[in-house]
Amino acid sequence: MARDAAHKRIVEALDKGNTLPFDIKGQTIYYMGPAPAKPGQIIGSAGPTTSVRMDVFTPRLLEAGLRAMIGKGGRSPAVREAIKKYKAIYFVTTGGASALLARSVKKVEPVAYKDLGAEAIIKLTVKDFPAFVANDASGADLFEQGRAQYQRAKGK
């Protein structure tokens, strides 16, 4: 899990040639807005945050070896091209279902940038996490396909 502030730090470190505090190669980042865990829980609500906010950083992370992202909403043309170029994938999950999504989280481990609080990087171990492919390595875009299908149906 990583959000805006962590993305900024990661890209700054990469651009300076610094070693990251974790191996980004082959990883998946979930753009999540975590809530504090209640007593007896390992995580609070765990819903996706709007992915386009990370678009300024995403091509650089994909170049560094990031392979997948999970969030909500569409991605910019530059990110869709980078997904295709670096053979990555973008998954979407349902916004507004954060309590339900939290049930899939089985383990939470701090990884880096703990000083960022809720925006620190944490490793989530999940089971049966509901997500589907929005952008794949071949350039397919679920959002564009949906709009086209709607336009065809509307024209009938």
- Residue 11: how many CB atoms within 10 A of its CB? 17
Q: Looking at residue 156, what is its pLDDT? A: 66
With a CB cutoff of 8 Å and minimum separation 6, the contacts of 18 are none
The 10s digit of each residue's pLDDT in 81-90 is 999 999 999 9
Q: What is the mean pLDDT of residues 112-116?
A: 93
Q: Are residues 29 and 93 in contact, defined by beta-carbon separation less than 8 angstroms?
A: no
Please report, rounded to a whole number, the percentage of residues in the chain having pLDDT higher than 90. Answer: 72
Distance separating alpha carbons of residues 19 and 10, to the nearest angstrom:
10
Q: What are 49's two structure tokens?
A: 């945050």
pTM of the entire structure? 0.91
Distance separating alpha carbons of residues 48 and 114, to the nearest angstrom:
20
| Domain assignment of residue 106, given as a range | 4-155
Burial 13-22 (b: 16+ CB within 10 A, else e): ebeeeeeeee
The 10s digit of each residue's pLDDT in 34-82 is 778 889 889 988 999 999 999 999 999 999 999 999 999 999 999 999 9
Q: Which residue has the tokens 């053979």?
A: 87
Please report, rounded to a whole number, the percentage of residues in the chain having pLDDT higher than 70. Answer: 99
Domains contained in the chain, number: 1
Q: What are 18's two structure tokens?
A: 């610094």
Q: What is the CATH number of the domain that holds 42?
A: 3.20.130.10
